[in-house]
Copies of this chain bind each other. A is one copy, B any other.
């Protein structure tokens, strides 16, 4: 493991951590202000959400690079399956195009929930694989890799049909596209006893590593993520597994926290992240 006691070049901010610039104390922070605040602290990169970008993808990407930050990724495609997925792939293609315009090498893909009328996940996963296979060439042409993100099983039904790293890798195998890999998020995978084994089989296919913590008393399914060190996830062990799978990308801090971190001054949040990244990750 590299020594990050002073060097923060592996640290990235996912802008969801500041409430997407619309929630709580981060409301009104422009992408440029976020970029400058990260750059001033020595962060290595930043990851945006589509809603923050609008039509200014190229300008925002260029601002980040001029400030010395990598634009590590973009969140995310629309759902590809389930009740809330668009009928066609137009919006998914547009999200790829936005990543390309931002010059973000990775676009995160959250699958969406169970196909209407079906039970279990087999039928949904089959449809997901078909849709990704249809989408992947467009992403390849745009120079964008797709990172399939498995979610905690509590998000089954309406948000995901992939619950473990092994689930996501199985879809990668099924699709077989060279620009398809996975994103590993501590919040979603910390509990998985098979994580080491699954990641050992993921060589070269980890395209993103998302940091936060699982609070011992998690009270809300969606917006109660913890800051690194405040929870029970074994962050050092998981990072070791991810790097063991060949991942050399950024560690992206993504904390949805309506009751705590979103209420704090973004400057304070960015400082705490730096401290926790050095001490706990």
Contacts and interface: CB of A to CB of B under 8 A. Distances in A.
Interface of A: 83, 113-114, 118-121, 152-154, 156-158, 163-164, 166-167, 170, 190-194, 214-218, 221, 231-235, 237
A184 B15 CA distance: 40
Q: Which label, helix, strand, loop or mixed, suits the secondary structure of the A interface?
A: loop
Question: How many copies altogether?
Answer: 2
A1 to B, nearest CB: 16
A217 B157 contact: yes
A199 to B, nearest CB: 14
Given A154-B154, A164-B193, 14 more contacts: A118-B232, A119-B233, A119-B237, A120-B234, A121-B193, A153-B153, A153-B191, A153-B192, A154-B218, A156-B190, A156-B191, A158-B216, A166-B193, A166-B194
A194 B194 CA distance: 11
A214 B157 contact: yes
Contacts of A191: 121, 153, 156, 163
Nearest to A234: B120
